[in-house]
Amino acid sequence: MGRASVAAFAILSGYVNALKPIKQTRAGNTDAALSGIAKSAFRRTGRFVLPAMVATLLSWLLCQFGGYRLASVVDSAWIRDTSPRPSTSFAAAFYDLFANMITTWTDGGNEYDKIQWTLTYLLRGSMLVYLTLFATAYLQPKYRMLAYGIMFLYYWAGGEALIGINIYAGLLLAELSLDPAVHNYVSEHQYLFSVNSFFLMVIGLFFMSYPEENPEWARWSMTLYNLGNHLFPYGSETPRFYPALGTILLAFGINFNSTAKRVLSNTYLCWMGKVSFGIYLLHAPLIRTLLTWMLYGLSSQPRGIKDSLENDISSDWIPLTHRWMVVVVVPVFYVLLYRIAHLWVLHVDPWCGRVTNWVEEQVFREDAKIEKPLLLA
């Protein structure tokens, strides 16, 4: 579900960041919308980059103090491959930290937290949202939606299923959710939309389950693979297109299904959404430390043998202490993960916001600091 999660982040980025500017432009407050877009683009960078830097710093500290020592020799290939080794010297450690904080945003590379490779694309996607909103601010809503559709087809034809099509799907969803004509039509045909949206969600979940590799192992996935050869552009990544398309269908289905929206508005589910970015940043380091220690045992000693170039020449990886421990440990780990993410939201995110606001106060012109009242019609 990792690829579907990235698609969901991109769709929500387009949807959430577009709601306020679209409301303002529809109300005739275009100047206020443009001002808000400029400020939001600046704030977005700080509130996106700073939490990632803090997460990298924490992972770097864990690495340098041997927190990933056990993870580098367990029998899980993913845990081993994502567990960096300590730097060779004190100076090299700080150089590695600085270098990885930079490459996270240049080419997606971060040895201390490899799952951060998506962040540079998500940040570019956010800037694409603001650029599109700026360029279409004076268009009539129907032509703005037409522009979103054209850009969606442009990225589809280019085989860009990571960010492009998801961003414009989110923008289109935001526009539709604020359109009075759409609301009236849906209210007049509630039963029809309830049934159709249900099927959209089911098909979306089905597409989202497409495997990242080896689709030939099951008939249903092989059928989707053959369909994708006709549906998607030549040479595109089918394992990325299906989760993206499925997530888009799921999002549109939820938007037009009152029951689904009511269920997903549950207090606990909203809280899980609130801590989702913290979960994204923290889950990999915690898997390589806390979960690994719980599953493999802190007393386990690495048995892997290294050659002179630090290459692994032994497959004698440390196994699980007991397989039944997974049933007990994994639920406990998730409770701890969400608790830690909650603390992150309470303390780290507000700090990043304060730093961003302080920088804004230092660099913005005086007239830009004044929030003009909005004259909503």
Amino acid letter at 330?
Answer: V
Average pLDDT over residues 167-190: 92
Q: Is the pLDDT of residue 375 over 50?
A: no
- At residue 316, the pLDDT reads 73
Q: Is the pLDDT of residue 19 over 90?
A: yes
- At residue 306, the pLDDT reads 53
Higher-confidence residue of 316 and 64: namely 64
CB atoms within 10 A of CB 176: 18
Residue closest to 183 by CA, chosen among 276, 256, 264: 256
Q: Is the pLDDT of residue 377 over 60?
A: no
Higher-confidence residue of 324 and 92: namely 92
Question: 79 with 288: CB under 8 angstroms?
Answer: yes
Higher-confidence residue of 102 and 363: namely 102
pTM of the model: 0.87
- At residue 137, the pLDDT reads 94
> Which residues fall within 8 angstroms of residue 166, CB to CB, at 6 or more apart?
7, 10, 11, 14, 125, 244, 247, 248
The beta-carbon contacts of 31-38 under 8 Å, at least 24 apart in sequence, are 32/372, 32/374, 33/133, 33/137, 34/134, 34/137, 35/368, 35/372, 37/130, 37/133, 37/134, 37/137, 38/368
Helix, strand counts (H, E) of the chain: 18, 0
Question: 72 with 305: CB under 8 angstroms?
Answer: no
- At residue 299, the pLDDT reads 56
Residue 306 in 3-state DSSP?
strand
Integer CA distances (angstroms), 186 to 183, 195, 240, 282, in order: 5, 12, 31, 40
Tens-place pLDDT, residues 325-368: 889 999 999 999 999 999 999 999 999 999 998 998 888 877 66
Residue 312 in 3-state DSSP?
strand
- At residue 322, the pLDDT reads 80
Tens-place pLDDT, residues 196-212: 999 999 999 999 999 99
From CA 156, how far away is CA 203, in angstroms rounded? 19
Average pLDDT over residues 144-164: 94
